[in-house]
Structure 1
């Protein structure tokens, strides 16, 4: 069992070196890793929920940590890879099944259920985490634009989330970010 757990941990450790493909395609030097992205999302889940929310913070943190886990095996698949949504889902499910096979049964079930919950987008927590995913991406885009002193360079990332953030608290953050970005463009 210990050998399998070491193999699991080593395999997911690849996320630390798996660069986010969208940034690579845009020519960003030393882009964030998938692990970087998941970590900041988990911090966001910890800090962006108010005390009156019925959304479970701990559950959201777990979803953040699992939602892109399959990418340690399949890589960060983007639309430019010309892989259908169904094929991407199959590849990621197979990857999660493999990762699950390395874990104790109860842990394996939990990790796979979290992944499936995020993919299904039917719970409040999964929808909130999807909004965090979208917000983290545009926050990162803004940071890259700022580093390059190139306002608007990554507009397509902002366009891709326009009107899709459903959570009022995350929508408010996105609106604030966009206002800040617009001021920099002037």
Structure 2
């Protein structure tokens, strides 16, 4: 590493401060304040440390932490995509890829390649590490919404089956955490904070 590398790294560090200004739709636990992307990423990193023992397959905890800290940096350029927004593609949008190249490109070449590879691995969601990282990414807002009387589910009238379909990715990383998440979803229906539809499509 040399002075040029350091200056590039500092430029990257300054740039990612912008993540603190990207507001998410979900709110803090038992709160009316919206979470920002930096808070979300920090929470996922802590969750990885705490919950890694529940992973179904051996994972590299440091690698997963890197994934959850890096995965939303693209939203500095691309903005936050709401999970239940049906008008946008949630899988590797070209907008996000361009953002990744620009933001990671601020780093020295080898680090830029490493960060890009980590981001791509998370987005593809195939490896054991990526599946656990995605489980954390799906689990945190579920916990937030159950603490906030339905949160975004209630606010945007998202039905149970849609939530279930989005959240079942948790199972790929941890059956134990998914079983717990299913209980929370069912309890949310019973409490009336998550709408469940009958087979005819009408709300129960």
Give the shorter-chain TM-score range. Answer: 0.7 to 0.9
List, as ranges, runs of 4+ consecutive aligned residues in structure 1 with deviation greater than 6 Å: none
Unmatched segments (≥5 aa) in structure 2: 194-204
Alignment match of 1:162 (pick from 152, 161, 164) = 164
1:174 is matched with 181
What are the Cα deviations for residues 89-146 of structure 1, in whole angstroms up to 9, with x where unaligned?
Answer: 2111111101122101121111100100011111011111111111111111122228
8 Å CA contact retained: 1:141, 1:154 = no
Q: Which residue of 2 aligns with 1:107?
A: 111
Give the secondary structure class of the aligned counterpart of 2:53: coil
Distance in 2 between the 1:154 and 1:77 partners? 14
Structure 1 residue corresponding to 2:69, chosen from 65, 85, 88: 65
> Does residue 42 of structure 2 align to residue 35 of structure 1?
no
Mark the structure with the bigger radius of gyration.
2
Contact 2:22 2:79 in 1 (8 A): yes
For 1:156, what is the secondary structure of its paired residue? coil
Q: What are structure 1's unaligned runs of at least 5 residues?
A: none
Alignment length (residue pairs): 179
TM-score normalised per structure 2: 0.73
SS across alignment from 1:92: helix
2: CA distance, partners of 1:135 / 1:9: 28
